[in-house]
Amino acid sequence: MIRNVFLFLGQLFFIPHGILFLLSSNKEVIVRDLYARITIKQGVVAQCYDLTKELLLSKYFRTLFYFRAPGIFSKILRIFYPKQDSFIIDIETKIGAGLQLAHPYSTILNAVSIGENVYVNHLVTLGEKYGKKPIIGNNVQLHAGCMVLGGVTIGDNAIIGAGAVVVKDVPEHGVAVGNPARIIEKNK
C-alpha cells in the first residue's frame, strides 16, 4: 500500500512526459514500445499512467522515449529526468516499433535500421566498421554480450546468441553463435 502511494507520487513528476507523449507524432510507436511484452491497454489515460510508471522505474525506457520524442521540450526534460548513460542509441538509427529492452546495460545501438519487435539484452553492440553499419530485421533476438559489426544484414526472426560476434550476414530464421559467429541452425 505505501509502495503504491510513493509510486503514484513519483509518477506525478512525469506528467510533463505524458504531455510530450500526447503531443508526439510517434505516439503509436511509443505505445508499441511500452507494451512490447504485454497486451496493449486501450485508452489514453491508461496508457499515460503506464507510461509515467515505466519512465519512473526504467531509465532505459526513458532513453528510448527521448529517442522517440525528440525536440526542445524533450531536451529540457532530460536535464531534470536524465536518461541512462550506459544505453546509447545513435541519432541516425531507424528503429521499428515494439523494441523490447531487457535491462540493456552497456548497450550501443548504432545501425542503419532495426526492425520491429526486436529483443535487446545487456552488453549488446550494434556498431560501425569501416564506415558501414548493420541492418537488423524484424523479430530478431540480440542476446547478452553479442556484437553485430559492419555492413551486415540480420534477417527476420534470426537469433544472435550470447557472446556472438557477427561480421557476416545471418539469414532469416538463422541462429548465430560463437566468435566469429557461425549459423548453427534455422530457427523454426
123-177 pLDDT, tens digit per residue, is 999 999 999 999 999 999 999 999 999 999 999 999 999 999 999 999 999 999 9
pLDDT in tens, 21-73: 999 999 999 999 999 988 889 999 999 999 999 999 999 999 999 999 999 99
- Of the candidate ranges 4-8, 74-78, 95-99, the one whose mean pLDDT is the lowest: 4-8
As given in the structure block, the three cell numbers for residue 72 are: 526542445
Output phi, psi for 164, to 5 deg.
-70, 145
Q: How far is Cα 159 from Cα 183, in angstroms, rounded to an integer?
A: 10
**Helix H or strand E encompassing 73:** helix 72-80
As given in the structure block, the three cell numbers for residue 34 are: 511500452
Q: How far is Cα 87 from Cα 25, in angstroms, rounded to an integer?
A: 24
pLDDT in tens, 9-20: 999 999 999 999
User: Alpha-carbon Rg of the chain, whole angstroms?
Assistant: 17
- pTM here is 0.92
